[in-house]
């Protein structure tokens, strides 16, 4: 089970497999074997994770930050080897014509506080500031 190649998670997964294919610790043909045994390509991380959680798939490459709530304890998280991951970046910005610009500014400011950073870290997000 992998993300569809048109999705961000699908692109990240293919990148992981490309790095594995060029690493001598993985058997020749590793990437092709994984792709041959991939039973479906999902449109979202949540869909892929749901299928693994329900036992409809053996494994998937997903964001650790998506393993929350009811999925915690139902799936085994295996960290990828160093050098195999791609850091997904998420951005926050205020839009120019916001009807509530003051609230948008407060939200962006709040996200930079130690309290918000701690909450984000609980869910697998890292600060890059």
Between 69 and 112, residue with greater pLDDT: 112
Question: What average pLDDT is seen over the chain?
Answer: 89
pTM score over 0.75? no
Digit-coded pLDDT (tens) for 17-45: 999 999 999 999 999 999 999 999 999 99
Give the orientation angle of helix 114-122 with respect to helix 101-111, to 10 degrees. 70
**What is the pLDDT, as a whole number, of residue 103?**
94
Phi, psi of 111 (to 5 degrees): -60, -20
Mean pLDDT of 61-89: 84
Reading the block at residue 90, the tokens are: 């998420």
Between 53 and 73, residue with greater pLDDT: 53
Do 94 and 108 meet the contact criterion of CB atoms below 8 Å apart? Answer: yes
* CB neighbour class for 92 (10 Å; exposed up to 12, middle 13-18, buried from 19): exposed
Domain coordinates in residue numbering, the chain: 2-71, 89-129
Length of the chain measured in residues: 129
**What is the pLDDT, as a whole number, of residue 63?**
85
Q: What is the DSSP string of 23-89?
A: -TTSPTTHHHHHHHT---EESSHHHHHHHHHTTSSS-----GGG--GGGTTTS---PPPTTS-----
Digit-coded pLDDT (tens) for 102-124: 999 999 999 999 999 999 888 77
């Amino acid at each position: 089970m992998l993300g569809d190649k048109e999705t961000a998670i699908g692109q990240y997964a293919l990148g992981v497999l490309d790095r594995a294919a060029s690493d001598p610790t993985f058997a020749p043909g590793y990437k092709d074997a994984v792709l041959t045994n991939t039973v479906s390509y999902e449109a979202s991380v949540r869909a892929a994770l749901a299928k693994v959680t329900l036992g409809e798939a053996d494994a998937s490459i997903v964001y650790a930050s998506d393993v929350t709530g009811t999925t915690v304890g139902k799936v085994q998280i295996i960290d990828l080897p160093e050098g195999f991951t791609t850091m997904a970046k998420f951005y926050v910005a205020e839009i120019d014509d916001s009807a509530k610009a003051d609230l948008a500014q407060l939200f962006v400011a709040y996200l930079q506080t130690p309290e918000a950073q701690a909450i984000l870290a609980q869910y697998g997000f890292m600060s890059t500031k």
